[in-house]
Amino acid sequence: MRKLLHTVLLGLLGAGIVHIVVLMLVPEFSERDAWSRLAMASDLYKMTRLDAEAGGAPVVKSVDPLFYAAACRFDLAEGMVRIKAPGNVPFWSVSVYDRSGHNLYSFNDHSATGGVLDTVVLTPAQMIDVRRELPEELQGAIFVEAPIEEGIFVIRSFVPDDSWKPVVSQFLGQSSCELQDY
């Protein structure tokens, strides 16, 4: 009986120590998510280059050096968001993430009309309003219905060789992420 009590007390003490250590480490790990890093780098509705090509340290380290990326944070509680990028690059893909980093929607240039990036991210309620009277300027846009309030839109573009670097940088640099009032 004494050994059992000793074992239980030792287990509880060990569990308590582990619990305290985990609680002390939570702030260290929670400040490293994509939302927090982007929040430190830029405001809502502002496209931010994620790679080091933009100068300085990268916001998020990429595992593939042949892709450049940009992202913007948005808040659908304020209205729907339109993301556009002019020009043609060899390949682009986009993803919409919720604030926690879960991928909600992805597509690439083969899904877009003429390969042009023109996307609107909106809530299901906002989609109902837009369907009533679709504005003419949104006729060719891809609509992403996202049941979230805050999210991140990421554009990735392929850089096949050094001659494409300025073109892809211009494509990402001229991309826009704007709050829309329709």
**2, amino acid identity:** R
Walk along the chain (182 residues) and give the pLDDT tens digit of each residue: 888 888 988 888 888 898 888 877 766 665 567 777 777 778 899 998 887 655 555 566 665 778 999 999 999 999 999 999 988 899 999 999 998 889 999 999 998 878 889 999 999 999 999 888 888 888 889 999 999 999 999 999 999 999 999 999 999 999 999 998 76
Number of neighbours of residue 138 by Cβ within 10 angstroms: 16
Phi-psi region of 9 (alpha: psi -120 to 50; beta: other; left: phi over 0): alpha
Per-residue model confidence (pLDDT) at position 53 = 58
**Is the separation of the CB atoms in 166 and 89 below 8 Å?**
no
Q: Where are the beta strands (DSSP E) in 8-122?
A: 48-49, 67-75, 80-85, 92-98, 103-108, 117-122
- Measure the CA–CA gap between 144 and 79, rounded to whole angstroms: 13
What are the start-end ranges of the H helices in the chain?
A: 2-30, 34-41, 124-132, 165-173
Phi-psi region of 156 (alpha: psi -120 to 50; beta: other; left: phi over 0): beta
**Is the separation of the CB atoms in 146 and 104 below 8 Å?**
yes
- Report the relative pairing of strands 103-108 and 92-98 from DSSP bridges: antiparallel
pTM of the predicted protein model: 0.77
Per-residue model confidence (pLDDT) at position 52 = 61
C-alpha 177 chain-centroid distance: 12
Exposed, middle or buried: residue 178 (CB in 10 Å: 0-12, 13-18, 19+)? middle
